[in-house]
Amino acid sequence: MTASPIKLRSPAELLAVLPHLLGFQPQHCIVVVAIRDNKIGLTQRMDLPDHERVKAVADALLGHVLRDSANAALLVGYEESAGESLPLIETVSARLKSSDVSVRDRLVVHDGRWRSLDCNRPSCCPPDGNPVPAPTEVASAVAEFIGVGSSPLPDRQSLADQVKAGPAARDVDELLCRGRESSSTSAGGEAQHQLAEVWARVLAIGSAPITAADAAVALQSLTDISTRDGITSLLSPNNLDLETLPDDTQALVRRITSARAVDHDEDSTTGAIKARLIDLCQHATDRHAAPALTVLATYSWWHGDGALARVAIDRALRCEPGYRLARLLSLMLDEGIRPEPS
């Protein structure tokens, strides 16, 4: 995930910020934070591998850091068993240094305590480590995240559970299977107007949960690639140029924009839009979920939430392994590719 510049004054503040950057509390993993011009860049998390895969994982992490044009990095190993992160940390450190990327610090977190591998001063790094700080102890470091509603989940599985099918998905599936809902953008102005009204409600910030009827219409509409791309353009205008899409899709997007009548303030609405898209994905059984999950993943990736993008894409590809946009986005996430600043 990427983030706005953050001033960190200590390892404790870094540990407090990482769950907000990732979206969940890291466990049994390594986190590599790329630093470019003294600013946090790409933040990568990977599960601790078996011994046989240490070199391959280290090479993958190095590639991400180099593609981010970083000149330094921070490494944090989150352990369940004492010492289990050390082989990977040492291998990644060696790879970075051989590529002229300095390693600012190397931390290990185990059993609620942290220590630096590169500090031998008992006054700041006692042998048994320091307690991982509570948010109140480093309030200044996490204040900006809390201010925009960031609340890290307990673990990665909790994040993945957010995009699973929910109780309403079966009702939506029945509606779609009976063919009661139609979302054709070419069936005339009235049909397009109705579809625009549905999407305006689906994306309405602070509104009631999405209904099964609206979810069925929205999910069916996303099976049309042009409509899917139009929704993507609506949500991330700098990601996809609306003018490159067919005229009827452009008209639909303009209708939705008019129906929503929302003053787009990215800082205040990004989290709320993600919540609405998550709600839509929870209305989808596996047979209908891939397009909506890919829209959510694209929006999340574009706004720097690589963790949510990854779990959405993982489910999309489980549902529909050949879904081309999901496969492309998965490759981009694997390669650590980030959106270009607008």
What is the secondary structure of 188-242 as a DSSP string? -HHHHHHHHHHHHHHT-TT-PPPPHHHHHHHHHHTTSHHHHHHHHHHH-TTTS-G
Answer whether 314's CB lies under 8 Å from 244's CB: no
Look up residue 336 and give its amino acid: G
CA angle 41, 47, 53 (to 5 degrees): 110
Q: What's the rounded mean pLDDT across residues 50-63?
A: 95
| Residues 179 and 96 occupy one common structural domain | no
pLDDT of residue 88: 98
Residue finishing a domain among 130, 155, 180: 155
Section 291-301 average pLDDT = 97
129 and 274 inside one domain: no
Q: How confident is the model at residue 147 (pLDDT cuts 50, 70, 90)?
A: low
E strand or H helix that includes residue 275: helix 266-282
**Statement: residue 5 has pLDDT above 80:** no
Q: How far apart are CA 306 and CA 165, in angstroms?
A: 21
What's the confidence (pLDDT) of residue 287? 95
Q: At what angle do helices 324-334 and 306-319 cross, to 10 degrees?
A: 140
Q: Give the per-residue pLDDT at 74.
A: 97
Task: Calculate mean pLDDT across residues 302-321.
Answer: 95
Amino acid 123: pLDDT: 79
Q: Range with the lowest mean pLDDT among 37-46, 69-78, 265-274, 328-337?
A: 265-274
* pLDDT (average), residues 106-115: 96
Predicted pLDDT of residue 317: 98
Contact 141, 6 (CB under 8 A): yes
pLDDT score recorded for residue 6: 60
pTM of the model: 0.84
**Per-residue pLDDT at 186:** 43
Examine the pLDDT at 180 and tell me if it is beyond 90. no
- The CATH number of the domain holding residue 52 is 3.40.140
Same domain, 213 and 308: yes
Task: Tell which of 136, 155, 174 closes a domain.
Answer: 155
The residue among 186, 325, 174, 296 whose CA lies nearest residue 231 is 296
Give the span between the Cα atoms of 89 and 68, in whole angstroms.
19
Rounded to an integer, what distance in angstroms lies between the CA atom of residue 249 and that of residue 161?
32
Q: Does residue 203 register a pLDDT over 90? A: yes
Contact 132, 114 (CB under 8 A): yes
**Overall number of domains in the chain:** 2
Q: What is the mean pLDDT of residues 220-240?
A: 92
Confidence check: pLDDT of 183 > 80: no
- Supply the angle between the helices 225-235 and 247-260 in degrees, to the nearest 10: 40
| 182 band by pLDDT with thresholds 50, 70 and 90 | very low
Helix %, strand %, coil % for the chain, to 5?
55, 10, 35
pLDDT at residue 265, as a whole number: 54
Judgement on whether residues 147 and 168 belong to the same structural domain of the protein: no
The residue range of the domain holding 128 is: 11-155
Q: Clarify whether residues 62 and 201 are in a common domain.
A: no
Q: What is the pLDDT of residues 317-336, one digit of tens each?
A: 999 999 999 999 999 998 88
Q: Give the tens place of pLDDT for each residue, 247-286.
A: 999 999 999 998 886 655 555 688 899 999 999 999 999 9
Residues 38 and 148 in one domain: yes
> Which of 120, 155, 190 finishes a domain?
155
Tell whether 21 is covered by a domain: yes
**Average pLDDT over all residues of the chain:** 89
Q: Say if 113 falls within a structural domain.
A: yes
- Checking if the pLDDT of 49 tops 50, the result is yes
At residue 112, the pLDDT reads 94
Number of separate helices (H) and strands (E) present in the chain: 14, 6
* 151 and 169 share one domain: no
How far is it, in rounded angstroms, from Cα 337 to Cα 137?
34
pLDDT band at 221 (very low <50, low <70, confident <90, very high): very high
Are 185 and 223 within one domain? yes
Q: Is the pLDDT of residue 188 over 70?
A: no
Give domain status of residue 210, yes or no: yes
